[in-house]
Structure 1
Amino acid sequence: MNGVIDLNADIGESYGLMRSGQDELISPHVTSVNIATGFHSGDPDSIKNTVDLALKNNNSIGAHPSYPDLQGFGRRYMEMSKFSIENIMTYQIGALYAFAPNEISHIKPHGALYNAAAKDIKIVEPIFNSIVNFNPELIHVVLANSVWEDFVKTKQVKFSREGFADRAYTDEGQLVNRNIPGAVLKNHDEILERVVDMALRGIVKSIEGKEINLEIDTICLHGDNKESVELAKKVRHELVTMGCEVKKMTDFIS
């Protein structure tokens, strides 16, 4: 804990005529954004528009690669070889690079790919290799308290440990499955208390009420509806009020 935190949001998740999210509204209230790169959502137009939006709001720009699962929005686990995982990562990072060759700062996998990496070193390795081979200076966004964090700590790379404002945690510090009641928090006061605990105290209360250690550098804020945008404003205001400095991850991750 150093009193500094990054706020990130997953954006650019529209596809063709399907509009998704509140990108224009949430981007000004976060410091970093993770842009969908076509495999769970996102298309060339949305990538270009989202890059321009992020630059306008001085956000750190990151790729948000996924399993190739448009129909399931990247939330379905897929059995893939290490070779294939590394290739889908490289392909999607390259898609964002084409629109922002000098702007990409970090990589955060999406959905089921992210969740799989948090638990399985065999998934972490090809993700890690794709990022390092693309650009060894990129920041690896990893789930805090995971085998993924343990892995990157042994490497000479930049990484940002992520916590979630509106997700419940198990006693082991892992995210509760979305299908379990209570996995997604709705109460704004509870969420505000949680982000302050994570950012300034390095703890989080599990779904069973246990206080567990959770050292983080960035907090994910979901922005897929107007209520989420209001929550993002409240989160940033609460953190600043409580003495936390909100900065983009590129300003303090080294």
Structure 2
Amino acid sequence: MATNYTPSTPSSLHFVHRLRDRAAYDAPTIHSILDSGLVAHVGFTLPASINPTNTPSDDQETWPFVIPMAYGRVEDIVYLHGYVSGRMMKALSRAGDDEQAGPPTTITVTHVDSLVLALDPFNNSFNYRSACVFGHARLVSDEEEKMMALKTITDHPFNASAERGSRWEDSKLPTEAEMKTTKVIAVRIKAASAKARRGDVKDDKKDIEDVEGTSGRYWAGVVPVETRFGEARGMEYSKGIEVPGYVKGLNGRSLN
């Protein structure tokens, strides 16, 4: 498993060109952003063979796609799952389980921690953490790996552990039909970068010092954005069943 994704040259796929001081390429930083997120945005294109002339049109095959997905990570592999005939599953599994020949895929996860409001709107920003990972998609054909990947995706939001329990293990097993109609895609991280901003407003000195014209007229500051889990609400048919530890553990937990 890679521990560092530092690009070799500025022309590398994942080199951060803008605001380079905010970039990070170490695996722990990238993995922590992935692990604390709930939704990944997955970018892909459909096979060129569908539209061999590449003629511009409004047909879906001529456009790139970015789709929000549930996901899970094991070491340097991000797992995705979906309906067997879904557009994304068909596109990402077209090379089968050949990782080297798999279609290129980009996955991003972003957390917004604050709104940063400046005197000059060009200095407005967010405090944020984001990760962008690149890799080739492969179809998970091994049944044992497929089951492990589905467990990982299911347990991902709960930060499951031996003490708190596992949502996958605390659920009915999938049926044979469900397994046959579900594809699992693995994307091994080939390159990755993280980018983050923390701190206060970065207003221009001349605007700060212009008390009569700017800083004395307009408000500047930071507005925290908090995303946290609330108290679980059980279904009527779950009366009498104790709320599991992995669910109780979410109450009040912040994603920031």
TM-score, normalised via structure 1 length? 0.23
Query: Which structure has greater helix proportion?
Result: 1
Bigger Rg over Cα: 2
TM-score, normalised via structure 2 length? 0.23
